[in-house]
Structures are given as structure tokens and as C-alpha cells.
């Protein structure tokens, strides 16, 4: 992956993804989680402090060894048991129909084969299980969308494959989920091409 992606980017994201606005979104999207949860893109554990008391176990899917290392102090404070579950959200080495919820925060933008990842999310969820997500993606405003298309190649190089043009709600809807709650907005404090946000939850049909 290279020195930058392995040693620099995880540290940058550990700081940049811990702003007041981002923490508020993390808190909202973690509401209602319970039981056994899979977290896709666990990162440096920035969601740990937002897990509700009803969460008993979290299986962390994270490709970055450094991010998992940075997460250790947060994991140590977690009332829920956190265990490492693998590197790749596209191929989860987990049993089918076993988990109460899956959580993803600003992760679906970077997964190369998003369809495979969402199929895996659906597979591991129990019938009626919930998928909680907050992601950035394609903006509805034509001028902003044009800038997203222009900036996406550079953004992918800087942020390890991060897409700006995915219409996240459509991708989830087309993957066998029923979206039960969805808020879309431009996140404050971030340029519009990078900040159009899809925040909500969906249920396995």
C-alpha cells in the first residue's frame, strides 16, 4: 500500500474524523444499536464512545493495522466486547444471519466493490437486522456534482480510493434493504463536493 497509506493517512484520519460535527453524526447513527454488531471500517475506534449500553459485542472490520493500534485505548474503555473480524468488507469471514446490526461510518466510499460489500452486510444480518450508516457521496446540486466528478480522481489518490460520486442511498436500496430513515445534508465546515451526507438506517428485507 505504501508508506503514506499505511503510516500517514491513518493518523490524519484519526484527527480529521474527530471534529465536533463528525462526533455529533457518529452519536446519531449509533443510536438504537444493540446486541451483536459488525462495524465495517472500524478505523481508530472513533465510534466506540457512542455505542449504546445495549451493544454487547462489536466485530471490527478494518484493513489498517495502524488504525487498529490507534484504537486500542478506546477499545480498552468500551463496555462492549470488541474483537477484530477481518480486513475486507467485501468478503466477511463471518456466519450468515447472526448479527443484530451493521455499522458503517464514512467507509462505503472507499470499498472498491460496493455491491459485494453490501451483499455481505445483508448476508451476516439476522432477518430484520439493521444497517446504520453515515456516508458522503453524490450531491443533487448540478454544479456541486460537476465539481465532484472533477475532484474524484485526485480524492481517490489522496484518500486511498475514496469516491465522491456514489449515490449511497440508491446503492443500499438496490442491495435488498428497506431504508427506514434517511437524512441528507451538506456537513458544516467541509467544502460541498466532499460533504454531501447520507445518514440513516435500513432494514434487511
Does position 1 have pLDDT exceeding 80, yes or no?
no
Q: Where are the alpha helices (DSSP H) in the chain?
A: 3, 9-16, 20-30, 65-76, 114-124, 142-158, 168-173, 192-195
| Topology (CATH) of 3-204 | Rossmann fold (3.40.50)
Does position 56 have pLDDT exceeding 70, yes or no?
yes
| pLDDT per residue as tens digits for the range 147-202 | 999 999 999 999 999 999 999 999 999 999 999 999 999 999 999 999 999 999 99
Instruction: Read off the DSSP letter of residue 132.
Output: E
- Contact (Cβ atoms closer than 8 angstroms) between residue 38 and residue 92: yes
Amino acid at each position: 500500500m505504501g508508506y503514506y497509506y499505511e503510516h500517514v493517512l491513518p493518523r490524519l484520519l484519526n484527527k480529521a474524523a474527530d471534529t465536533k460535527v463528525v462526533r455529533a453524526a457518529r452519536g446519531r447513527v449509533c443510536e438504537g444499536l444493540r446486541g451483536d454488531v459488525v462495524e465495517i471500517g472500524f478505523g481508530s475506534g472513533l465510534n466506540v464512545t457512542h455505542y449504546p449500553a445495549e451493544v454487547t459485542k462489536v466485530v471490527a472490520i478494518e484493513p489498517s493495522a495502524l488504525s487498529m493500534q490507534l484504537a486500542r485505548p478506546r477499545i480498552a474503555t468500551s463496555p462492549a466486547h470488541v474483537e477484530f473480524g477481518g480486513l475486507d468488507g467485501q468478503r466477511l469471514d463471518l456466519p450468515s444471519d447472526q448479527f443484530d446490526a451493521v455499522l458503517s461510518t464514512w467507509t462505503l466510499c472507499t470499498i472498491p466493490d460496493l455491491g459485494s460489500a453490501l451483499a455481505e452486510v445483508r448476508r451476516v444480518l439476522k432477518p430484520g437486522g439493521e444497517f446504520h450508516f453515515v456516508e458522503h457521496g453524490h450531491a443533487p446540486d448540478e454544479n456541486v456534482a460537476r465539481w465532484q466528478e472533477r475532484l474524484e480522481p485526485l480524492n481517490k489518490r489522496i484518500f486511498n480510493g475514496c469516491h465522491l460520486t456514489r449515490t449511497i442511498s440508491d446503492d443500499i436500496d438496490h442491495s435488498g434493504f428497506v431504508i427506514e430513515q434517511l437524512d441528507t445534508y451538506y456537513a458544516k465546515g467541509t467544502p460541498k463536493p466532499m460533504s454531501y451526507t447520507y445518514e440513516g438506517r435500513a432494514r434487511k428485507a
